[in-house]
Structure 1
Amino acid sequence: MQYLSTRGAQLGQYRDVIVEGLAPDGGLAVPAELPTIDAALLERWRPLDYAGLATEILGLFATDIPRDELARICRTSYRPEAFASPEVVPVTSLDGGLSLVGLSEGPTLAFKDLAMRFLGEALDLVLTEADEVLNILGATSGDTGSAAEHALRGRDRLAVFMLSPKGRMSPFQRAQMYSLLEPNVHNIVVDGVFDDCQRLVKRISEDVEFKRAHRLGAVNSINFGRISAQIAYYVWAWLRATDAVPAADRDGFEVSFAVPSGNFGNILSGHYARSMGLPVRRLVLATNENNVLDDFFRTGHYRPRTAANTLTTSSPSMDVSRASNLERFVFDLLGSSPERTAAAWGELTVRGEIDLSAEQHRFLPELGFVSGTSTHADRLATIREVAERCGVTIDPHTADGVKVAREHVEEGVPMLVLETAKPQKFAETITEALGVAPAIDAETRTLLDAPQHVTEIPDDEQQLRDLIASSALR
């Protein structure tokens, strides 16, 4: 399979795009043509375990990686002993037609583990075969950083330079990242918000000469490797939701997915799964008070906020106002036209917004998108409600998803809410909602008490360049 940039450059095959990250022309890698799946293929996949299903899904995209190598990578990435659930991704019924897709069973207790563990193994394979090294430059609003660092820690051919916003993550999230002592992990705290971190990463990644001189890559969701790996759990969840449906009725049986959204990568994978043929009725996008994406899907106007106007909320991993993956969706919306996509981003630079209101009528039903906003009060009420009615404690981001999902439930259509993280990562909000703190085991207490090591910098591109130049693998 060949890949191209949303802005027109030809990018090569899967190996090339997972190493490159951001395209040289500033765009994002997308398949030249999406593969398709049908009812017969879904039924053939139904008996597979998660690693086996991931091998099949990723095999549609990573056609340049031998199948036996891909299977080995997936078996390593998704071995059951690395996850709290032997299923890897359990699906649990809640109430009112909702089910919870358990994406947070991995080592860092967040959905990012599922894609990041695969990407770490895939990068290791590609770099070993090419006898090369790669320095990962990324930005995190909370869970990407810890998942990336835990997936890549201790690897000889990979180093991580992870930017995070000062004072904008939970204590648990900071501890998971900042307590790592591996020499290939560099935690950089930026005096700003997540969008400032993301902007620094993008500006440096757009400098092709600097990027190649210092062998820079990415594991943020701008890396298509993560997007492709996430498609697997949409298919897995559909299969589990339809296991009890009579075989004669499964063909075309639709479910809906509700997805807490910040950087738009997770729900983009659902968009691709639906476009490939997975029977998905609605993709329900849930935002917090930083509701730029909700505004976009309601009006067709994309208006990113400034750093000063990006709110600090109790679902901090969604405190994003400039969603980098939206460009991939806009590329699809504009007929896969690099010219129109580049023009849209030029409009964003000049006017501070993109007007796609002429296309807004296509969001539903053609593309299946609806959206909604959840507030702090909504989160607290939803956490309490789910705990009381279902006996399940959910984290604040997942609560945003449940709140908005309830607004879009349809009779006879299962609503699958993608879990974001485990509640213990956000103990303060859980305590406020339930009146009691999540239980902290000895391992968590040790983590929270461990010394933390970071490098603090202002929102300054040159200081970041100097830091990378002095510490990058060569």
Structure 2
Amino acid sequence: MQYVSTRAAKAAASQAPQQFSDILLGGLAPDGGLYLPAEYPQVSGAELDAWRKLSYADLAFEILKKFATDIPEADLKKLTKKTYTAEVYRNVRKGEKSADITPLRILEQDGDKTLILQALSNGPTLAFKDMAMQLLGNLFEYTLAKDGAELNIFGATSGDTGSAAEYAMRGKKGIRVFMLSPHKKMSAFQSAQMFSLQDPNIFNIAVEGVFDDCQDLVKAVSNDLPFKAKQKIGTVNSINWARVVAQVVYYFRGYLAATTDNAQKVSFTVPSGNFGNICAGHIARMMGLPIDRLVAATNENDVLDEFFRTGVYRVRKSAETYHTSSPSMDISKASNFERFIYDLVGRDAERVRALFHKVETEGGFDLSGKPGSDGDEFKLVSNYGFSSGKSTHKDRLDTIRDVQDDFDITIDTHTADGIKVARQYMAPGVPMIVLETALAAKFNETILDALGVDAERPPGFEDIESLPQKFVVMPADVVQMQAYIAANTGL
């Protein structure tokens, strides 16, 4: 399996196809693009049948070996077995071990319409990011150990990526983590979960701005190739291919658990901000998983919803980005969206380069096909199964109350956005699976507003906000950021 950049110039020798291990530790390609397989591996019906009885770890191995063909299968199997265990992915609500890593729960059944919630919050930081990040930590450690190398991870988070990355990388030999987050724009729980870590290899930086400012800093540093090489910079953001492909696994798991034969299709609704999570669903669908719809659920920051309704991709400036009660989706520039656009325009890398240059210079592009637009590929979006919808603060409060009253389960604010939008797209005979984002306790301020009581805290997280916190506050300045990294790596 070889990988190419979404912006690779055909004549550029430096952009020759790469192996999985070649791109594992990095983020952006040298040309500023994102890596994708030169072609998507295909999954047969016979394979799906055989996978129905597998453990999550074994399913992860079967899928990942199609992408990481340069890692010995015996080593890869050990890594998935080490990662996906009942000890790591506990039933966090009950505080006990559970072999069911991503259990499904039927929420609604109206005739032949079914709404299902897939739990993805059973990892160490109570969010879906753990599903990929724990594997990424083990892959990084494995790769670095072979060469006796070091890695300085530089990433950005709107809330959950940061803690998932830090918990996965804490104590890992040869790894330091520099994590950016928007200052005072995460929930109190999210901030405490990150900033309370005292490990010497963890560095938290609160950036004066919004998430997009943090993400822009990561891209700017990654595009400074001499600095990136000298400081051995890698990333765990969803621009990292390994993280996206690890998320592909739970789409297969959800499908196999919700169906009995391969003739049946399912749909997925995914709370979406940076397009990484739903991009994994797109990849699963391209591999042949029988997915009917992929529904992107946004909050008030509705850049993705606008595109899937109109064909216009219009990023918002920092001042136009809302601070909402589903803060992990307060994103106005979806960095993974480029991977889908690459497929949408027929894998024309020169076209992708031009479109995203226009994003940087003019704030967006228009594929609606209307006079004066940049193209007409919006007409092809339905071929890829995408739909979308938007949820507001009132919607998520109402949905949290409904789900609590009807099913006695407390959902977090982002999952509420997903359920609200999913209800618009439920179809007869096609189960709709909503991907859970996190446990409700991580967003207690809004849960208290919706229900009048605090969200239940899992064991071990009762007083996390009272722990000592270690972080620095910095402006959104590339030069200062690079100086901070260099000062703390000694390189």
Question: Is TM more than 0.5 here?
Answer: yes
SS in 1 for 2:476: coil
**Paired amino acid for 1:43:** D
Asked if residue 339 in structure 1 is aligned to residue 350 in structure 2, the reply is yes
SS in 2 for 1:363: helix
SS in 2 for 1:132: coil
Q: What does residue 257 of structure 1 align with?
A: 268
Q: What does residue 427 of structure 1 align with?
A: 444
Q: What does residue 2 of structure 2 align with?
A: 2
Percent of aligned positions with the same letter in both sequences?
A: 52
SS in 1 for 2:87: helix
Q: What does residue 367 of structure 1 align with?
A: 384
- Structure 1: gaps spanning 5 or more residues: none
**Paired amino acid for 1:297:** F
> Does the CA-based 8 Å contact 1:11-1:23 persist in structure 2?
no
Match of 1:46 among 39, 42, 52: 52
Q: Deviations over 1:295-342 (max 9, x none)?
A: 011111100000000000000000000000001111011111111100
- Structure 2: gaps spanning 5 or more residues: 9-14, 92-97, 369-375
CA–CA distance in 2 between the matches of 1:73 and 1:166?
35
Q: What does residue 80 of structure 2 align with?
A: 74
CA–CA distance in 1 between the matches of 2:300 and 2:169?
32
Match of 1:32 among 22, 35, 38: 38
Q: What does residue 21 of structure 1 align with?
A: 27
Q: What does residue 372 of structure 2 align with?
A: none
Q: For residue 442 of structure 1, report the CA deviation from its aligned partner.
A: 6.3
Q: Which runs of 4+ in 1 moved over 3 A?
A: none
**Paired amino acid for 1:45:** W
Q: What does residue 414 of structure 2 align with?
A: 397
Q: What does residue 210 of structure 1 align with?
A: 227
CA–CA distance in 2 between the matches of 1:88 and 1:349?
40
Match of 1:136 among 136, 140, 153: 153
Match of 1:91 among 104, 107, 111: 104
CA–CA distance in 2 between the matches of 1:109 and 1:350?
38
Match of 2:471 among 432, 435, 454: 454
Asked if residue 285 in structure 1 is aligned to residue 296 in structure 2, the reply is yes
Q: After superposition, where does 1:6-405 map in structure 2 within 5 Å?
A: 6-8=6-8, 9-85=15-91, 86=98, 87-96=100-109, 97-242=114-259, 245=260, 250-357=261-368, 358-364=376-382, 366-405=383-422
CA–CA distance in 1 between the matches of 2:244 and 2:38?
15
**Paired amino acid for 2:40:** L
SS in 1 for 2:125: coil
Q: For residue 18 of structure 1, report the CA deviation from its aligned partner.
A: 1.2
* Range with greater deviation from structure 2 (87-96 or 313-322): 87-96
> Does the CA-based 8 Å contact 2:48-2:262 persist in structure 1?
no
> Does the CA-based 8 Å contact 1:134-1:473 persist in structure 2?
no
CA–CA distance in 2 between the matches of 1:75 and 1:303?
42
| Cα root mean square deviation, aligned | 1.0
> Does the CA-based 8 Å contact 2:102-2:120 persist in structure 1?
yes
Q: For residue 38 of structure 1, report the CA deviation from its aligned partner.
A: 1.7
Q: Deviations over 1:278-302 (max 9, x none)?
A: 0000001100000000001111110
Q: What does residue 371 of structure 2 align with?
A: none
CA–CA distance in 2 between the matches of 1:378 and 1:38?
40
CA–CA distance in 2 between the matches of 1:309 and 1:112?
26
Between the two proteins, the alignment pairs up a number of residues equal to: 467
